[in-house]
Structure 1
Amino acid sequence: MDGLMNESFVDFVGGVQLHPGEGTRTAVPVILIGICVSGAVGNLLVMLILYREFGRARGSEVKALLAAVAATDLAILLLCAPVRALTYYRQSWTLGSLVCSTADWFQHACVAAKTLTLAATTRAKHNPVAVPTGGAKRPPRLRATWIHGALALIWTFSVMFPVPQFLFASLQTRGADTFICVSAPPACAADFMSLFYKVYPALTFALPAAFTLAYYVKTLHAAVNHAAAPRSGARQRQSKVTLVLLCASGANALLLLPEWSAFTWTRLGFHKPPVGLAIFAQVLLYSSSCAIPAILMTMYDDVRRGVVVVWFASTCRGARNASCGNRCPAKSEENGAELGGAREEGGDDKAESNELEKNFPDVEHFWTGRRNTHVEDDQDPVPWEREEKML
């Protein structure tokens, strides 16, 4: 491996290749597959819950952008991570020239779009759209024009900026039947690529992440230290959402920092980074796609309530399939119709008991009247029995 790292084409695309370590061949693909499965389930659940919030007219601009982040993470986990897992397992490139040209380009586009989308949440409103009651005038719908425009601009920038990753990726032969995918820019483009490798990480990661973290830290500091009067419920809710976004942006920046450091180090450093650092950085990159849905499901109140609703709905549905009767609690709003049906079934029993009470109106009064009566010693409580005996 040391001889390989001293060659000119060490800028691998799609994962480190020709690595002789047997542990890397087995452990890294297993880790990546586990991250893919858990992260895909988490992001799908977040997208489902946020879609449900919009269906209940409880959507907001922040939720729309968080749904876009979840969709981007899902694309990274399903389309990018399996390529790296297969590359580490085969220790060479077996996916053809088209995937070789687009592997790093697509992954960098998704990572940059996620960072810029989190930065766009600083301009989004946290308040949900209220549901009209009675004859109230219908509130204005969520103004999604600027959200659509922002997402279109973000993805256009994210797709166009890493184009050199697409242009200079190529297959190289290594032996008789072994191919590797590397990035090999020509000598005439050396000055341009040197400038590109300095500007690209700054515009797609460093500046957006620093701006996002600084904005949310300043917002929380102002909310905590400049609130003399007791805060209202809406202001408290806004502070909670700000804290959630700060944690999500901080986790994303922290987990992507090793990948961007290795990216810059590989292309501008005088010495190549250790192979272990490059592998560890790629694992952390995919872990960031699992961290954000975990933060949303544990800290964001609306998403957490949605998880509880989905959990109760799934457990009760499974219990009904197992013929458990009525042991499952009707916790979710979707089970309201079933609860109403149970009440209608119980209404027949109640009507029958009322009918019995109407047929025997004096029985309860008779026993209630005699329950606490005091009987004197010289008074016979059942004189008719004594008369029968006398006869």
Structure 2
Amino acid sequence: MCYTSTNVDTQLMRPKEDELKLAGSRRVSAPERGGQPLAGQLQMLEFSTMNSSADLLEYAGGFQVLKEEELKVALPVVLGVICLVGLAGNTLVAAVLLHDFRQGKSSVVNGLILVLSATDLLVLLCCVPLRAVTYSKPSWSFGWLLCKSSDYFLQACLTAKSFTLAAVGHARYRHVANPKKYVHFKCQRVMALTCSICSLALLLPIPHWLFSTTKRSGRSTSCVLDIPASAANFMRAFGVAYPLAAYGVPVALTMTCYAKALLRSQPGSNRVPHRRHEARRSTVMLCGLSVAFAAMRLPDWVAWTWARQRESGAPVPPTALLVLAQVVVFANCALDPLVLLAVSQDIRDGLRKVWALASRGRARGSEDGQPGGEPAARKGTAPSLSTISARDDLGIFRELAHSIPPDIQHFWQDRKNAALTENNDPIPWECQENS
């Protein structure tokens, strides 16, 4: 790169042979000594250093140098669709599971799936809109605090999701291995496990918070991961340990648990075929969620490891890989509730119940809100929920009637068929005295 002098007298520029060797085939020209003020030389040196090391900067808040105008429009639209679908699906799944908790029909696996849906909601609400805006703008415009916390929060949520799926796999294996012992739901166990997962997930990606900062170049600002030279060795070790702790070990544990659960649910002589089929189907569905997460998270880990383990001057991860990896990770948050709603019969049945309760609530509210009207109970019209309870009671009474012994039924039938003699005598005591 050639720089011109700012002096009034124009001076010729001549190449330096030692810089030519360091730059390879690229020719670099520099001003002569004394031909330029010291401040101008320092400014040019700083600018040259920034351009020569620009490939070493890693964007922490999303890729911010998209040159294609079509991508700047298409990516926010795609992320918006993912966000809407994921919010609707995860909200429905969370509503169904919360309704089951209130009815006392839950399990440890359902409690962990609720934690999984809550994690997906956090990613879709806090991370996806920020990345969509980042893709559409050429520079970072959200300030220093969001720069430090955006990538850290995303990594913490994804790590928590990885640990939660491992806990789901372990709980499913325990349920298949000993269903009578592990079927009882304990809220304290799920809460303690959730707190442990969140604490570990918040601790592991702390270096993302420490080294994320804003860099200003001219009029544009970028959110980058700026690693100082003193922390280079630490980040190289972190680049190996963090993927293993947050991805490799949980995925391996999850796959092992599901493999053992599927082997334990093989056909046996002392098991009911229908129940065994349902248990195996649920295990396969949960295993599919873990496999989908592992496969859709893999491109992001490839780009993450590539950027941290490459040598200086080595090729950087391509833009297409970085953008595709982030979009696929966000798409996984919308895929999980769709799989649960499509495959799980319990989730679909619970969704029908929640929808029925919501419809009754709206109908009752419309009846209570009529002008000059009275609530249905005051008019003598029982609410729909009471009607359902009365029908259930009627069926119970019929079952009790059929269970009465025959001799007792014959006794009460005789008393019922016996004709009552009318006694209209105004002085019955005289008849008793004469007799």
TM-score range with shorter-chain normalisation?
A: 0.7 to 0.9
Query: Which of 308, 317, 325 does residue 281 from structure 1 map onto?
Result: 325
Q: 1:160 aligns with which of 203, 209, 212?
A: 203
Matched, 1:251 2:292: yes
2:333 aligned with 1:292: no
Distance 1:108 1:242, change over 3 A: same
Report Cα offsets for 1:68-109 as digits up to 9, x if no partner: 000000000000111100100112100000000001100000
1: distance between equivalents of 2:384 and 2:96? 17
Instruction: Give the secondary structure class of the aligned counterpart of 1:172.
Output: strand
Closer/same/farther in 2, CA of residues 306 and 100 from structure 1, 3 Å limit: same
Q: What residue identity is the alignment partner of 1:273?
A: P
Letter in 1 for 2:209: F
1 CA distance for matches of 2:51 and 2:283? 47
For residue 201 of structure 1, give the secondary structure of its aligned residue in structure 2.
Answer: helix
SS at match of 1:252: helix
Unpaired runs of at least 5, structure 1: 128-139, 324-333, 343-391
**What displacement does 1:158 show?**
0.7
Provide Cα deviations, 1:160-187, integer angstroms capped at 9, x if missing partner: 11100000001001222x1000001110
Which residue identity lines up with residue 243 of structure 1 in the other structure? V
Whether 1:50 aligns to 2:97 is yes
Local SS of the residue matching 1:30:
helix
Q: Which amino acid aligns with 2:263?
A: H
Tell me the secondary structure at the aligned position of residue 224 of structure 2: strand
Per mean C-alpha deviation after superposition, the further-off stretch among 3-12 and 262-271 is 3-12
Inter-CA distance 149–315: structure 2 relative to 1 (3 Å threshold):
closer
Is the 1:25–1:91 contact (alpha carbons within 8 Å) kept by the matching residues of 2?
Answer: no
Would you say 1:199 and 2:246 are equivalent positions?
no
Residue 223 of structure 1 and its aligned partner are, at CA, apart by 1.7
Aligned residues: 318
**Matching residue of 1:188:** 230
- Counterpart amino acid of 1:148? M
For the Cα contact (< 8 Å) 1:61–1:126, is it kept in 2?
Answer: no
Cα distance in 2, alignment partners of residues 341 and 218 from structure 1: 47
Contact 2:360 2:384 in 1 (8 A): no
Alignment of 1:1-391 (within 5 A): 7-124=54-171, 126=175, 142-176=185-219, 178-224=220-266, 227-231=268-272, 234-269=275-310, 270-311=314-355, 335-337=384-386
Tell me the SS of whatever aligns to 1:173: strand
Shift of 1:211: 1.8
2: CA distance, partners of 1:335 / 1:271: 68
For each residue in 1:270-328, what CA deviation from the matched residue of structure 2 results, as whole angstroms up to 9, or x when unmatched? 321110111011000011101111111111221111223345566788899999xxxxx
Q: Distance in 2 between matches of 1:315 and 1:255?
A: 37
The question of whether the paired residues in 1 share the 8 Å contact of 2:55 and 2:316 is answered with: no
Stretch of structure 1 that moved more, 64-73 or 150-159? 150-159
> Root-mean-square deviation (CA), in Å?
2.9
Distance (whole Å) between structure 2 residues aligned to residue 72 and residue 92 of structure 1: 28
1:4–1:279 Cα change, 3 Å = farther
Q: Distance in 2 between matches of 1:4 and 1:49?
A: 54
Q: Which has the larger radius of gyration?
A: 2
Secondary structure of the 1:50 match is helix
Equivalent position SS for 2:163: helix
Q: State the alpha-carbon separation in 1 of the partners of residues 275 and 101 from structure 2.
A: 19
CA contact (8 A) 2:58 2:226 kept: yes
- The code of the aligned residue for 1:92 comes to S
Counterpart contact for 2:96–2:347, Cα < 8 Å: yes
* In 2: Cα distance, 1:273 partner to 1:292 partner: 28
1:70–1:335 Cα change, 3 Å: farther
CA contact (8 A) 1:60 1:126 kept: no
2: CA distance, partners of 1:73 / 1:162: 18
Could you say what secondary structure the match of 1:271 adopts?
A: coil
Alignment partner of 2:140: what SS? Answer: coil
SS of alignment partner, residue 79 of structure 1: helix
Q: Determine if contact 1:9/1:183 at 8 Å carries over to the other structure.
A: no
Identity over aligned pairs, percent: 32
Alignment TM-score, normalising by the size of structure 1: 0.74
Aligned partners of 1:77 and 1:286 also within 8 Å: yes
The equivalent of 1:385 in structure 2 is: none
Give, in whole Å, the separation in 1 of the partners of 2:330 and 2:359: 30
Structure 1 residue 218: deviation in Å? 3.0
User: How far is 1:240 from its partner?
Assistant: 2.7
Counterpart residue type for residue 188 of structure 2 = T
Gaps of 5+ in 2: 1-49, 177-182, 368-382, 392-435
Match for residue 136 of structure 1? none
SS of alignment partner, residue 227 of structure 2: coil
Distance change in 2, residues 1:335/1:302 (3 Å): farther
Note closer, same or farther for the CA distance 1:5–1:253 as it changes in structure 2 (3 Å cut).
farther
SS of the residue corresponding to residue 104 of structure 1 reads helix
Task: Rate the CA distance shift 1:312–1:5 in 2: closer, same or farther, 3 A.
Answer: farther
Secondary structure of 1:167's partner?
helix
